[in-house]
Amino acid sequence: MSLFRTNDTLERLNQILDDTMNGTFEESRYDESQLSRLESKWMRYLTASHRSLRKVEEERASIKELVTDISHQTKTPLSNIILYSQLLQEQVQDEDSKKLVTQIHLQSEKLQFLIQALIKTSRLESGTFQLQPQENEVFPMICDIIRESEKKAGAKGITIANQVDEAMTASFDKKWTAEALFNILDNAVKYSPPGSQVKITAESYEMYATIKITDKGQGIGEEEIPRIFGRFYRGEDAHLEEGIGIGLYLSRQIIEAQSGYITVRSQLGKGSEFQVYLLR
């Protein structure tokens, strides 16, 4: 008799778990038995956890909204500041004022870049942006990012060599991956000595395609390497250069969001080698 009852109880417990997994759990009865008490308690627990789950989702949604608001509301005034500082630059005659205006202009552009980068990272983190990796050719993307960097490189007499095989393909999101690679290339140009060469090569493995950006810059100390992908991290010797330390962080976010990764090899004084792995 008691064996039967134990079996019944176990069967009901099993049923409770099944129903819970299907999201259809309901209390079957209200009486003074232990089982009924357990059902009530289980129900209370489920409602509470359901509730906190919803709360988390709501909070997440409100953060997304906040980020959208910030990006939206700061855009216009900032564009105006940049525009007016440009106009002022053209009007101002004496040298001292010119210097000041140039600084205002530079700092505003920096601020704009910073806000844009922060918005991007927050959207990547919160999953607002969905990357869509597709089979794409690598070569045209490399041409694009080189074109973007040419002005800066040209000013320092740096040449960028594109040694990527034109037929090579990999699976990636075009726009975002270009941004990730550009940040790396931009760094390479920034930290390379005048007149040197930055080299971009690529290779296909069985699972991954890699794109390698090699510079002959100052290099990164071994103990610094793990930290360069952190948000707002700036190299110890990097303070002379422009920048805010968010580029590499963003790059890693983008690459990791498409199941790839980035490795770094560097020797102080000899140069660095950033290698981006993308799924084929």
Q: Which is nearer to another protein, 43 or 78 (CB)?
A: 43
Q: Which is nearer to another protein, 14 or 33 (CB)?
A: 33
C-beta of 43: minimal distance to another protein in Å?
A: 7
Nearest CA to 181 out of 252, 79, 80, 123 is that of 252
Q: Which is nearer to another protein, 36 or 102 (CB)?
A: 36
Cα-based distances in Å from 136 to 29, 154, 176, 280: 60, 29, 13, 9
Binding mask of the shown chain, residues 125 to 144, with x at each position contacting another protein by CB under 8 A: --------------------
Asked if residue 54 binds another protein (CB under 8 A), the reply is yes
C-beta of 44: minimal distance to another protein in Å?
A: 6
Q: How many CA atoms lie within 13 A of 77 on its CB side?
A: 7
Asked if residue 53 binds another protein (CB under 8 A), the reply is no
Q: How many CA atoms lie within 13 A of 155 on its CB side?
A: 5
Asked if residue 56 binds another protein (CB under 8 A), the reply is no
Largest CA distance in the chain: 103
Contact between 176 and 190 under an 8 Å Cβ cutoff? The reply is: no
Q: Which is nearer to another protein, 11 or 58 (CB)?
A: 58
Binding mask of the shown chain, residues 65 to 104, with x at each position contacting another protein by CB under 8 A: ----------------------------------------
Binding mask of the shown chain, residues 10 to 49, with x at each position contacting another protein by CB under 8 A: ----------------xx-xxxx---xx--xx-xx--xx-
What DSSP state is assigned to residue 270? T
Neighbours of 47 (CB within 10 A): 10
Cα-based distances in Å from 211 to 42, 72, 101, 174: 53, 35, 40, 14
Using CB under 8 A, list all residues that contact another protein: 26-27, 29-32, 36-37, 40-41, 43-44, 47-48, 50-51, 54
